[in-house]
Structure formats: C-alpha cells, structure tokens
Amino acid sequence: MTFARIALAAFTAVAATTCELAPPTSPEHAPASIARAARTRTASDINAPSSAPPSQGARTLKTHADTAPYLCHPGSDTCVAGSPLLASSQTEARWLIAHGYPSPAEHARLSKLDLAQLQVELQAGNPAATVFYGSRTALSGRFESGVAILRKAAATGNIYAYYGLSEAYNGETPQKNLVESAAYLRLAYLLGDRKASAAIAQRGLSGIENVVADERAAVLYQTFAKSSRPSPRPFE
C-alpha cells in the first residue's frame, strides 16, 4: 500500500471517530441561524389560529347590540324632541352608557320596580337603578339618605345621578326646592350633558329663579363636583 493510501485511510478513521465522540449540540450552543428558526417556530405555535382574538366584526356587533336600545331613528319625533335618554349615533349612545343613563326601555322597566327590587338591581351594579333607588328613597320619607346615595353616585362620574337629585328636590317633600332642582340639572349641563337644558326649561322657572339656579350650579360645580373636567355629550 502506498503512503498516500495509508494517509487517506488514517484520516478517514480519525474523522469517523470524531463524529461519533462529539456530543449533540445543545440549544444554547446552537448556531444563531438555528436559534432564530426555533424562536420563529415557537412564535408561530403561540399565534396559532385557535388562539386568535375575536374578529373586529364580532366586537362591532357586540357594541351595536349594547347601544341599539338608545338609538332613535333620524327624522322621528323622538329625535326631534331631544330626549336625554336617546342618542342620534353610536358614539352618543356609548356616552350615555358610560355616564349611567338608562335606555328608554330600561327606564320604563326600572320605573315599575319597588324599592326592594331596585336595591337588588343596585347591588348587582346597575348604575341607572342606583339613581332610581336614591331618588325613590328621598321621595319616600328618607330624603337625606336618598340624596346621599345620589351624591355618591354622581361623585363616581354618573351624570345621570344629577337628574335623580333634581327629581328629589322637585318632589312633594318638605325639602322641595325648584331652584335647587334646576341647579342640579344645570350642573349636569356644565359637566357635558347639553340635553339637560331641555329638562331645565320644563321646570318653568321665572327669569330670576333661573339666574339664582345658575349661580347655585356654579357653586355646586366648584364645591361638590370639584370643578371636574366636562365630558361633552357627542353631537352628530
């Protein structure tokens, strides 16, 4: 056997032995390209179709279902009248929901409940029921307790609670005060509900009484509402 053949055979044997003895490459010692590929596969597994979030269409449908009871039909008498419980757009309807307003249907339902039933709704977290419970309590002989409930609700951002406070001071109780009643509606207006002005007009106050109510609302805005930043009701 020639020297060249002997050398080639020896080199082949050494290479084979080296491959057999070499330990398997661990992930931490893998080349960068392999590590990147592994990370890519892991990310792909995490983002598999089965774990994908709901489609935008599904979220839109749910939102529409929530706001539908608040929407009026353009050109109808209800839209023209400007009920504070009705919205002309999805955006306005969402504003109503965010600030504790019931839909007209929900308002009618809550109006039929007694105090015990309203308390159950309140404890379940229904913000509109809280307003009904507070005003009903105030008008049923526990005025201060009812007003305290309404003021607490208003302090959390429930603008509809100011309508409840207005009703409490407009009821047939020893605490009846039409100017105070209008002042709370004016406060709702100052905090963003432009439609509260229609409710103020329905109080039928004189010019002097309206001036006094405005002054009282300005005081309440600074002392009770703590000069909160208004949340304007959308206008579309």
Average of per-residue pLDDT across 155-165: 98
Smallest Cα–Cα separation from 178: which of 148, 147, 208, 154?
Answer: 208
* Residue 145 forms part of a structural domain: yes
What does residue 70 show for φ and ψ, rounded to 5 degrees? -90, -15
Question: How far, in Å, CA of 135 to CA of 164, rounded?
Answer: 5
Q: Are residues 94 and 129 in the same domain?
A: no
Count of domains forming the chain = 2
Determine the structural domain holding residue 153 and report its residue range. Answer: 102-223
In a domain, 229, yes or no: no
Residues 67 and 135 in one domain: no
Residues 79 and 165 occupy one common structural domain: no
Whether 45 maps to a domain, the answer reads: no
What single DSSP character describes residue 22?
S
CA–CA gap between residue 235 and residue 227 (Å, rounded): 23
- Rounded to 5 degrees, what are φ and ψ at 71? -80, 135
Provide the CA 176 distance to its chain's centre, in angstroms.
Answer: 34
106 and 215 fall within a common domain: yes
Q: Is the pLDDT score of 200 beyond 90?
A: yes
Q: What is the pLDDT of residues 49-73, one digit of tens each?
A: 333 333 333 333 335 568 999 998 7
Same domain, 216 and 133: yes
CB atoms inside a 10 Å sphere around CB 171 = 17
Evaluate if residue 124 carries a pLDDT over 80. yes
Instruction: Judge whether 27 lies within some domain.
Output: no
Domain assignment of residue 66, yes or no: yes
> For 9-55, what is each residue's pLDDT tens digit?
433 443 344 434 344 444 444 444 434 433 444 343 333 333 333 33
**Do residue 218 and residue 141 come from a single domain?**
yes
Query: 125 and 207 in one domain?
Result: yes
* Boundary residue ending a domain (80, 98, 116): 98
Last residue of a domain, one of 98, 123, 146: 98
Judgement on whether residues 190 and 118 belong to the same structural domain of the protein: yes
151 and 109 belong to one structural domain: yes
Give the domain-ending residue among 38, 69, 98.
98
Same domain, yes or no: 125 and 78: no
| Contacting residues for 230 by C-beta, under 8 A, at least 6 apart | 190, 191, 192
Same domain? For 136 and 162 the reply is yes
Cα 215 to Cα 236: distance, rounded to the nearest angstrom: 30
Specify the pLDDT at position 57.
35
Side chain identity at residue 136, one-letter code: R
149 shares its domain with 181: yes
